[in-house]
Structure 1
Amino acid sequence: MKIFFNSVLRLYPLGGRYRKAMALTLLPATVLCFQPAAAGTIKPIGAASTSTQPIPPATITGKVTDSKNLPLPGVNVQLKGTTTGTTTDINGNYRLTVPNATGTLVFSFIGFASQEVTFSESKTTINIQLLDEPKGLDEVVVVGYGTQRRGEVTSAVSTVKAKDFVKGSVNDAAQLIRGKVPGLSVVTTDGNPTATAQVNLRGIATLNASTSPLVIIDGVPGTLTTVAPEDIESVDVLKDGSAAAIYGTRGTNGVILITTRKAKGPSAPKMEFNTYFTTQRITKRLNFLNADEYRQYVAQKKPGATDYGSSTDWLPEVLQNPFSQVYNIDLKGSNENTNYVVNLNYRNLNGIMQRSNNKTIFPRIEVNHNMFDGKLKLNANINGYEQNFFGFDGGGFRGDVYRNAIYLNPTQPVKEADGSYSEHVDKTDYANPVSLLYNSDGIQQNTDLRTIGSVTFTPITDLDFKVLGSRDLLNNFSGYSETKQHYSTLHDGKNGYAARGAQRNEENLLEATINYKKNIGLHAFTGLAGYSWRETDFQSFYAQNYDFPTNDNSYNSLQSGRALSRGQGVENSYRSQNKLIGYFFRLNYAFNDKYLLMASIRREGSSKFGVNHKWGNFPAASVGWNVKKESFLVDNKTISSLKFRAGYGITGTEPASPYLSLDRINFNTNTYVNGQWIQAINPSSNANPDLRWERKKELNVGMDIGVLDNRITATVDYYNRTTSDLLFNYPVATPPYLYNNITANAASMENKGIEVGVNIAAVQGKDFTWNTQVNYSTNKNKILSLSDKSFQLASGYFDAGFLAEPIQTPTSRVQIGQPIGNFWGFKSVDIDDAGHWIVQGKDGNPKPIVQAQADDKQIIGNGLPKHYLAWNNSFSYKGFDLNITMRGAFGFQILNTPRIWYDAPVMMTRGNLLKTAYDNVYGKRPLADDQSVSYVSYYIENGDYWKIDNVTLGYNLAIKSRYIKSVRVYASGSNLKTFSKYKGIDPEVAILGLAPGVDDRNRYPATSTYTLGAFFTF
């Protein structure tokens, strides 16, 4: 039968066998020829003789296990080329209905290699065993502007995956990898919910500039708080100069590369939800006198002891039982061409101090799309955060609240009979901490919007052209006010105080790279060339006023204060801009995967530098030898991998301010002329056209080894880094200079050390596993010079740090031939019969402290740890998992400033004392009541400590639900126990700056954190 038609054909077969019309839309003059076929079918002549009867849907079932035959929950099971998929349950079982009885399933799970398995009508039960993701030399790590196999890496690079992150409550990305990376010191000095960790890599390498590593998030510069910790997939740390030199003037302090969570491979939409709830307690209270103990000294008529008639425990008056909560929703999906991730993170963190609250929301949307058979790849990413600090001083922390809460007179009431807060303004530096809390108000609001896009074109295999652009816009608003009842009014006559500020920081980035790979026989080449342009625009405004008519307006009516009209307020604004342009090249070469070479160079120019030094070159080279590939070792059953590495690189550091090299004008002075003051215009500083980058040269030699099928792996690195042309503010002669100081490059210092990391798969049983990791690092720092031929520091030293009144003296000395962090003061050796200090003179003989001179001071300790040690353990037993993180620091001292002030009986005139204030000193007698507060070595203590830093116990619930694929619940504790002889609240003190190791008496209390949480996969 032949049918000719030009539009639509509708066939209505007889006999009722077809109950629905079949419509075919064909091109004009199309001819269809039909012939009888099997009952109920119509097929074209010439088609295959097999029946086209639709194949009914099929159900595929099975179980997924790991290499030890343990079930794997949460494995993604996907029908290849579609979005049809499911995940395994707690027992590793899955059930998937597919449209046809033939096809391919893709099994994928983080930490394991993906597998593809075909199925058919006769094969609908598929049990598979996933193998661990490639590790050791085959593991993929992120490096500058790309990735490499671990076996190809010739520099010092450490990687921490999400599964190995520190569990429980964390505030930023650095706390996720605390104790996980040898040589990277991550210190949490207090429990402030607005604070972030202090991070230092391989020692302090600068005098004036920042010591924090450069942070790159998905290829774009950011900070450790730019992204929510729950949204991070991995963190890679470029530790040595050969790895970091590709970042030029920003790489001296190392580079932290953060990769956010991505959608991988074709997968159906998948949602993950995790949440946790946290509370805190103070880890340790300083042992001050209570009211009854204080009254004993009143009865003894100790100078300054006064009984105000009440009994007050001040610290609980300003503390609270905080409750914090975090929620994270992650939605992702993908097909062969497009994938997306939508992440929303909400954090409501309350501190142990009242009115310290930090609310932050992190949204992120990322879409990737492939076109033209994968030749064109598009990426769009919008992320950022909105953060609000609420409370006194904008939710931050004012140290005077804690300081007054620990040393205020315990017989003083919180409030007087008339309801007002009790105050004694006749005492110096003495205020009611509850009044400080509730007679002040503040807010800080940060909004960060990051828009990122990239286009990658691959015209031929292994050749990529990529252009990346980003814009990071950070806006900050702050407001703060004090009422007419605040201490500032009662003591200083402010009569109400308020301030407002705003900042705007815009950073634009454009980078273009070309990446090419080529294998020729046993030779493998990878080449990278790129261009980078970055522009930063910073603006700020600040104003303060006081003497207000009312408290009602807080910080929202600055104009109503009268101080500004009298010339007593403050108004200022500022703007700065700078640009950084770089060209970079890198070549990687490997012969037979045995002999490895990496060479790179970055030529970079910055507007921050002087006119004579706008551009600099930052070369690097490293080599590697995969000894395991050699014929004499390739068949060795004990050694699984062995590689030696050596690298050398030069990196730089930018000046902090963009205009230090230029002539700047000052309008802030006035001149009295003809009976009136007129505004004067004059240069504000000495220009330095030779200002340039700090230059760090670093040699790194390392070894990576794995034994017993990589059950035991270890990494060892030795480094020696010298930083020259360090920036410092030098004294100069006037004339020829207008002012007596100038910022210049003249100093140099050295850091060298050893890092060791050992990973052991100690037990790998059917039901029980135990993996353990030990990390160790040591660093030795030394100032080589503080001068050059143009600028000299004649004394060979300068002092740093400062103790407030009544001491008013520096704490530390930076000196040629000595390390950063030396405490500089009088070495106490005894007390006399009257209770006054005896110190050691410069001649080694004892003398009364009242006779001591400045040149009797000496080095009395060092605040930087010489050794760091961490021991991380993870256990699993069936559905349970237990992670224990321990870490410590050794070989350093701490200046216990609370003891300086509150262990001295003379301070009874200002408030309360520690119970040890009247203990015998050097086994003789207590200090005299008139012995002034003194900075002596008696208050320098051994800071060595060992912490049980984190313990997390989790359990995977056996959930059988159509909608919930897996559930994990866990309980976690952080900073649980500290073993130390230190007498302060916590030996984990500041490690940054030129005066590290000082335990500030104003510090926010250290806390232990307890967390309950759950992960849901849908």
Structure 2
Amino acid sequence: MKKLLLTLVVSLGFVLTSLAQKTVSGKVTDANGAPLSNVSVVVKGTTVGTATGSDGSYTINVPANGKTLTFSSLGFDSQDVTIGNRTNVMATLAPAGSKELETVVVTGINRVQKSKFAGAATKIDQKDLEDKPVGSFDQILQGRAPGLISLTGSGAPGTAANVIIRGTTSIEGSSDPLYVVDGIPVEAGVFQGLNPNDFASVDVLRDAASTALYGARASSGVIVITTKRGQAGKLKVSYSGQMGVKSRPDFAFRPMTTSELLKAQEDYGRIVGATASTTVLPGWYYSPENPRYQALSPADQLLADATLDSISKINTNWYDEIFRDGTFSNHQISLSGGTGKTRFYSSLSKYDEQGVTLRTDMERISLRNNLDFSDDKFTLALSSNIGYTKRNFQQSTTTNNLGNPFLVGAVNVPYVKVRNADGSYAVGDPRESKYSAVNTLE
């Protein structure tokens, strides 16, 4: 009887032990569905744990007080999953840092959680930067942050914009902000050789507290740019391409034709009775109503008629000659991936833009490589960008400059021809304006 009682007690003990824990199994994958090996699986709040196999599967005995499983692996964000009544728990791990840029403000030197950041800063998301067909990144900042003004100046392909964050703080000094790319201060002109699609985020620091890290250089604000980094997981290859057309300017007025201008000159001369020179008012100078014409010999009158007739046959619209519909194309291919310790991001892009005025175009080729290595004792981050940029543009620093196509198109008369019979540009016409259109065309 004693022997039987002992057996019953021991058997009951085993039953209670088995009821106090349960076996949970599952599989861990990355964002692409690929299995992840050597992922640590721990019952939160205990020392009970295991690791996934080569196929990403695991099995773990969960004690009675175990409510949550914690999945963690180098190169990925940790994830807590509630067990509940399940015996099969699946998990998907996101690459490390995939959510970090959304919740922090990058100052160029450190990263501060938004909830703990006391300064005035605006974050521009990656989606607002991608696939924007511009020759220089600073051209797309307009409207992206409160108080930020971005003026594109001449509008020529690749022209750096004039960016103002905190207003004009100096009468003679510069109001340009300080640009910081991956912790390195750069000049605005550098953006001609950088591909905006390589940027992961942009932080605009506006007040003194935010810019104190950079001293006097940041008196007009700071724009901090963080480029994309590789994420652990399978090799990811992506391509993006754009092609488009930019319409020529739609002017609110129509230039006078040759016949209209010659008639206006004749009316003017008839009213004022002036003896105009042939270069200024040929419509009146060669007009039969001009008293000078009446004093000419019959042969000279025939010559004047022939000259006026030859002028009347020329009808040049200089806006049509100077302006055109521009085109652009943007192509990029990028590769990223790596293991838990080593991650990389590489991209190659080519951008071509043809401006809406002749002799304005831009070609940019950019190659970026970002490499990251980290383990328990050592962290290394390398970044490189090789950029080639070629620009052709009209030199026009003032509104009355000889290279200003808008001025040239307005002041040149329609009875000056563009090309000679042999196809060369016509130069030296005495009727040509001092703002020679050939300077713009050649």
Per the normalisation by structure 1, the TM-score is: 0.30
1:424–1:431: 8 Å Cα contact kept in structure 2? Answer: no
SS state of the match for residue 243, structure 1?
A: helix
Q: Which runs of 4+ in 1 moved over 6 A?
A: 58-61, 103-107, 116-119, 124-129, 133-136
Partner of 2:224: 257
The amino acid that maps onto 1:383 is N
SS state of the match for residue 300, structure 1?
A: helix
Change (3 A) 1:126 1:339: closer
Change (3 A) 1:123 1:388: same
Partner of 2:281: 305
Establish whether residue 157 from structure 1 lines up as the match of residue 121 from structure 2: yes
Question: What root-mean-square deviation, in Å, do the aligned CA atoms of Structure 1 and Structure 2 show?
Answer: 3.8
Partner of 2:58: 102
One of 246, 251, 267 as aligned partner of 1:285: 251
**Structure-to-structure mapping, 1:348-367, within 5 angstroms:** 348-367=352-371
One of 315, 332, 337 as aligned partner of 2:336: 332
Establish whether residue 179 from structure 1 lines up as the match of residue 143 from structure 2: yes
Distance in 2 (alpha carbons) for counterparts of 1:105 and 1:405: 70
Change (3 A) 1:82 1:183: farther
Change (3 A) 1:250 1:268: same
The amino acid that maps onto 2:391 is F
The amino acid that maps onto 1:281 is S
Distance in 2 (alpha carbons) for counterparts of 1:246 and 1:263: 28
SS state of the match for residue 345, structure 1?
A: strand
Q: Percent same amino acid among aligned pairs?
A: 23
Change (3 A) 1:166 1:406: farther
Partner of 1:442: none
Per the normalisation by structure 2, the TM-score is: 0.66
One of 23, 35, 40 as aligned partner of 1:79: 35
| Number of residue equivalences | 339
2:121–2:204: 8 Å Cα contact kept in structure 1? Answer: yes
Partner of 1:788: none
One of 251, 274, 279 as aligned partner of 2:240: 274
Deviations 1:109-146 (A, max 9, x none): xxxx8757699xx85987999xxx9799x921112410
The amino acid that maps onto 1:361 is I
Deviations 1:829-880 (A, max 9, x none): xxxxxxxxxxxxxxxxxxxxxxxxxxxxxxxxxxxxxxxxxxxxxxxxxxxx
One of 387, 390, 398 as aligned partner of 1:388: 390
Distance in 1 (alpha carbons) for counterparts of 2:118 and 2:154: 38
Establish whether residue 147 from structure 1 lines up as the match of residue 111 from structure 2: yes
Establish whether residue 231 from structure 1 lines up as the match of residue 198 from structure 2: yes
Change (3 A) 1:81 1:300: farther
SS state of the match for residue 399, structure 1?
A: coil
SS state of the match for residue 410, structure 1?
A: coil
- Give 1:223 shift: 3.3
Distance in 2 (alpha carbons) for counterparts of 1:140 and 1:243: 14
**Structure-to-structure mapping, 1:869-948, within 5 angstroms:** none
The amino acid that maps onto 1:335 is T
Change (3 A) 1:344 1:106: farther
Distance in 2 (alpha carbons) for counterparts of 1:228 and 1:418: 43
One of 340, 345, 370 as aligned partner of 1:341: 345
- Give 1:242 shift: 1.5
Change (3 A) 1:127 1:256: closer
Distance in 1 (alpha carbons) for counterparts of 2:164 and 2:371: 34
Distance in 2 (alpha carbons) for counterparts of 1:128 and 1:377: 22
- Give 1:243 shift: 1.3
Change (3 A) 1:260 1:127: closer
- Give 1:339 shift: 0.8
1:273–1:330: 8 Å Cα contact kept in structure 2? Answer: yes
The amino acid that maps onto 1:353 is T
Deviations 1:218-271 (A, max 9, x none): 00112341521111111001111111121112111111000011123x211111
- Give 1:367 shift: 0.9
Deviations 1:922-973 (A, max 9, x none): xxxxxxxxxxxxxxxxxxxxxxxxxxxxxxxxxxxxxxxxxxxxxxxxxxxx
One of 149, 162, 169 as aligned partner of 1:198: 162
SS state of the match for residue 263, structure 1?
A: coil
Greater Cα radius of gyration, structure 1 or 2: 2
The amino acid that maps onto 2:216 is T
Distance in 2 (alpha carbons) for counterparts of 1:398 and 1:171: 25
Distance in 2 (alpha carbons) for counterparts of 1:409 and 1:343: 50
One of 404, 410, 429 as aligned partner of 1:406: 410
Distance in 1 (alpha carbons) for counterparts of 2:71 and 2:140: 31
Change (3 A) 1:259 1:376: same
Distance in 1 (alpha carbons) for counterparts of 2:384 and 2:337: 17
**Structure-to-structure mapping, 1:751-766, within 5 angstroms:** none
The amino acid that maps onto 1:386 is Y
Deviations 1:486-529 (A, max 9, x none): xxxxxxxxxxxxxxxxxxxxxxxxxxxxxxxxxxxxxxxxxxxx
The amino acid that maps onto 1:79 is P
Distance in 2 (alpha carbons) for counterparts of 1:383 and 1:159: 23
Distance in 1 (alpha carbons) for counterparts of 2:100 and 2:237: 28
The amino acid that maps onto 2:389 is Q
1:82–1:267: 8 Å Cα contact kept in structure 2? Answer: no
SS state of the match for residue 413, structure 1?
A: coil
1:323–1:350: 8 Å Cα contact kept in structure 2? Answer: yes
Distance in 1 (alpha carbons) for counterparts of 2:37 and 2:27: 17
2:157–2:391: 8 Å Cα contact kept in structure 1? Answer: no
Distance in 2 (alpha carbons) for counterparts of 1:270 and 1:369: 18
The amino acid that maps onto 1:382 is S
Deviations 1:327-385 (A, max 9, x none): 111111122111111111211111111222211111111111124x2x21112222131
**Structure 2 alignment gaps of length 5 or more:** 1-25, 40-52, 60-68, 270-275, 284-310, 396-400
- Give 1:422 shift: 3.1
Change (3 A) 1:114 1:430: farther
Structure holding more helix per residue: 2
Distance in 2 (alpha carbons) for counterparts of 1:314 and 1:184: 37
Structure holding more strand per residue: 1
Distance in 2 (alpha carbons) for counterparts of 1:105 and 1:289: 78
Deviations 1:574-607 (A, max 9, x none): xxxxxxxxxxxxxxxxxxxxxxxxxxxxxxxxxx
- Give 1:406 shift: 2.9
